[in-house]
Chain A
Amino acid sequence: MRNFKKILKCIIFAIICCIIFAICDFIFVPSGYVRVILHTLNYSDEKYDCIILGASHGRSAIDPYKLDETLGTNAINLCIPSETMEDSYYLLKESCRNNSPKTVILDLDYQYWYDLAENDFSDAFIYYQLEPSKVKAEYFFHNLLKKDVRISFSRWSNYISDFKGIKDKVSIKLDNGYNDFNIESAVVKGADGPYVGNGFFYRAPGGHGARGFIERRTWNDNKVDNKVVKQFKDIVDYCNANGIKLICVTSTITPAPVLTGTSEASAKYFEKLTEEYGVDYYDFNLLRQDVMPRGNLDFGDWDGHMCGALADKYSSIMASVIKDAQGGSVDRTKYFYNSYAALYEDVNTVVYCQTALSIIKKEDDTYNISFEIDGLSGTRVVPEYQIIVGTATGATVLSEYSKQTKYSFDLPQGTYTIRVNARAVGSTAEYEEYCEKAAVLEQ
């Protein structure tokens, strides 16, 4: 009897701890949109037969309704920002619980193939969104056992710094819309546009020029994380075992970063890999400009998130390519450049210019400003740059358009804006790209 009492006390203690954890989860964790999408996936009246998987590029680029128009499918976009190959695998399995997909479109984004941070809370993000099922249990045993115990059981600890947001989070969760899985009740970050449906967001256009630096990442086949390759193989095997047609794509990203060469190098790797596994692969960065004219402004950022208008065009083109493939063969020359060299040649503008200022105070109390311009343009283009110094009262052209890339000049104390305009030699445009830097020169 005494032992029973002791055990009962322990059980009550454990229950209290669980309740406290649940309360913390309720008040700290924001309401995301993924639970809404997964609810749609599992409980929609019409079953989905085409599943789109990938990360944020895929979410903003692939409009499932456009695919449906051409392919006659019922598609859903399950591309989620930071979705890893592992997540894609389990989302595919989750899709198959209540649907019978015939086609899977997997968007391959090279950023998720190496240098992956481990033990981060985002690792378990998708896991938390899955409803209790065999798939979720499998996810847990395959992926979370090596992770920090707090990642697996107390995701709320990742959000505790946001004390001010507790009130909003609680009121959203107490709202009927939240329980009815309305997208309006979800906090959507980074979509930058309205929700259209079936996982697709229509992204609004981004700004010009002042979007910061392009993160130069050097692709190296040897750096590829073997775990990701294994997970990719798992997806291939799963699709083969379940009679699902797997199509791999790399969605078009902003023209400027494509010119850094990383897309070309990674696409070569993906081509080799998909060929090895007998999977169709289409690199849509190679889409001909005449098939889908595009510029930096058709994307929200340098990273490559497509805006809604271009996404619709792109999705229709993708659907046509897939339809052609279903019909027997794709005439690649109809849609794609035959090489990246041809793509680079066809870019006839400057697509990127950026710089960082180096400011040194001189003995005479003036300041020396020096910088070097980093530009990207087509291979046939010779870029030229114009330097404008702006003050509160106006702007002065410090250097007319020239091919010079390094600049150094002195300015007295004050607050300035240094603007670099860039264009191709021979162009009559005022500028094709620009960047602006503030220079606060004070004691």
Chain B
Amino acid sequence: MSFVSTGFLLFLLIGVIVYYFIPKKVQWIWLLFISYFYYATYGIKPMAFIAFTTISTYFGGRLIEKYSNDGANKILKNKPNITSEEKKKIKANTKGNKRKVVLIMLLFNFGILAVLKYFNFGVENINGIMHRLFGIQYTIAGMDLLLPLGISFYTFQSMGYIIDIYQGKYEADKNIFKFALFVSFFPQILQGPIGRYNRLAHQFYEKHYFDLTKIQQGLQLICWGFFKKLVIADRAGIIANQVFDHDDKYAGVIVIVGVLAYCIQLYGDFAGGMDVVMGTAELFDIKIDANFRQPFFSHSISEFWRRWHITLGTWMKDYIFYPFSLSKGMNKFGKFSKKKFGNAIGRVLPICLADLLIFFIVGLWHGASWKFIIYGLYNGFIIAFSGMFQPVYIKMFEITHINAKTRTWRLFQIFRTFVLINIGWYFDRGNSLKDAVYMMYYSVKGFSFSALTDGSLLKLGLDSLQIMILIAACVVWFIVSVLKEKNIEVREAIARRILPIRWAIYIALIISIPLLGTVSAKVGGFIYAQF
């Protein structure tokens, strides 16, 4: 049931009405029911996977907590007689048991994800290596595997929970059904954001009273999301698809236009989807984490990743980056690096390695293909490189007397980051790694601006009116983004206007969706819903 389908609209309507009419105590049960109902509309089989993740994570969490409590009780009970040696032993024993459970949980759940998502990719590569390096003609057969929708999102969300329990950040959920709701809450199950238990779960169990203002705000956000998705992203997608799917036909500036169109498509699609998700959650009086914060105003790639797909970034940071970079091995490596390369490089080298690891995983998370791995590593290398050469930059600024705080320099940084990000899209959207490199080469070869004026642009699937609509819609979005960047909350600013102006804005937004939105056979499919 796509967010833009008629069914979803009706589902939402019924969902919200019933939610506020039933006793507050059972609101979460209704949410759980409609979440599973929503997921079931994509098929019954995938439900087995989400149920497995829910059950295993729930019991895993409980077991970890039990080990913690047992260990603590043991120490408490024998407090007067226990020696510090014995205390240490109990603690080590408890930690060992907890670690075992976490490892099993991670292995099982990420194992399922890995098999379903990456098995065929692995087989393909093994076959390639056997064939090319050893001349072995035997090929391992791939499998026709079902990839449950949203598996990457709910697996990451659940594993975040289990690691937090292990680290003792909060107590494990006592109620399996309440926990099931945390895993399966329908607005975010398909394309995130990746929620955190401590910020999300308690909201489900609170009493929620009908508040018209919140409903209005939720609907506004949904409409704004649809505007980004249907008016901007789907329209830009026509150009992007034309260029990327016929990469042998285009060169020079047209390829660059295609990449920019993809940039708009991806951002509009994902950010629009997130607005619909957040707006939908708001209708149920649930606040979920934002996934975007005007990413194209970033001054560096690392800042971009703090503003783009924020919940994935913070997940990676909390559960991979810190544990990895603070591990004993990396500690030793840091000391070794400091000895070998000096203090400055030695200090940043472990961080660079951690960045590369993170972005390798981010790339792989995007899909089972080398182009995604390269996409991730490309970003990782830039961040690692920037970190490593930070002292050099500072020196260069001193020598050249560049003031890094000036507006011009900041604008240059934003532009530079934008260019670097767009280079990454070649790998992300290219049909293969080879195609991406080929397109990069042809972007430069035979570059001339004449293609912008000789009518070639109008052969990419949009006529001049359509292009004007796209540009105008992007300008509106840009203005809203600038305001948000200046901490002006647009929704609240509109709410303060007099009624006729307020309503005119709302009506214009609503009408613009059918009036200016594009409808195609592929409409409704959100790009990130396939992860």
Contact = CB atoms under 8 A, between A and B. Distances in A.
Nearest to B8: A149
Contacts of B514: 24, 150, 153-154, 156-157
Interface in A106-165: 117-121, 144-154, 156-158, 160
B212 A145 contact: no
Contact of B521 (A20, A119, A158): A119
Interface string A314-336: 00000000000000000000000
A121 B515 CA distance: 14
Contacts of B2: 146, 148
A214 interface: no
A3 interface: yes
A229 interface: no
A279 to B, nearest CB: 32
A277 to B, nearest CB: 29
B212 A3 contact: yes
B313 interface: no
Interface string A8-20: 0010010011001
B212 A150 contact: no
Q: How many residues of B sit at the interface, in one of the four size bands?
A: 20 to 34
Contacts, number: 70
A391 to B, nearest CB: 31
A117 B521 contact: yes
Given A6-B212, A144-B6, A151 B519 contact: yes
B131 to A, nearest CB: 32
B511 A20 contact: yes
B519 A119 contact: yes
Contacts of B230: 150
Contact of B6 (A13, A120, A145, A156): A145
A440 interface: no
Contacts of B10: 145
Most chain B beta-carbon contacts within 10 A, residue among A13, A117, A158, A160:
A13
Interface in A164-213: none
A342 interface: no
Contacts of A7: 212
Contacts of B510: 17
Contact of A146 (B7, B515, B519): B7
Nearest to B210: A3
A160 B212 CA distance: 33
A137 to B, nearest CB: 12
B506 A13 contact: yes
Most chain B beta-carbon contacts within 10 A, residue among A16, A117, A149, A153:
A149
B507 interface: yes
Given A3-B212, A10-B212, A148-B524, A16 B6 contact: no
Contacts of B5: 145-149
A336 B513 CA distance: 54
Given A7-B212, A119-B523, A149-B6, A157 B517 contact: yes
Contacts of B286: none
Most chain A beta-carbon contacts within 10 A, residue among B6, B507, B510, B511:
B6
Contact of A157 (B4, B8, B519): B519
Contacts of A120: 519, 521
Contacts of A144: 6
A7 B211 CA distance: 11
A150 B2 CA distance: 13
A144 B230 CA distance: 19
Given A121-B519, A148-B524, A157-B519, A20 B507 contact: yes
Interface in B484-531: 503, 506-507, 510-511, 513-515, 517, 519-521, 523-524
A149 B4 contact: yes
29 contacts: A13-B503, A13-B506, A17-B507, A20-B507, A20-B511, A24-B511, A24-B514, A119-B520, A119-B524, A120-B519, A145-B6, A145-B10, A146-B1, A146-B6, A148-B2, A148-B4, A148-B5, A148-B519, A148-B523, A149-B4, A149-B8, A150-B4, A150-B513, A151-B6, A151-B519, A153-B6, A156-B514, A157-B515, A160-B515
Given A121-B519, A152-B6, A157-B514, 13 more contacts: A3-B212, A16-B507, A24-B511, A24-B515, A117-B521, A120-B521, A145-B5, A145-B10, A146-B2, A146-B7, A147-B6, A156-B514, A157-B515
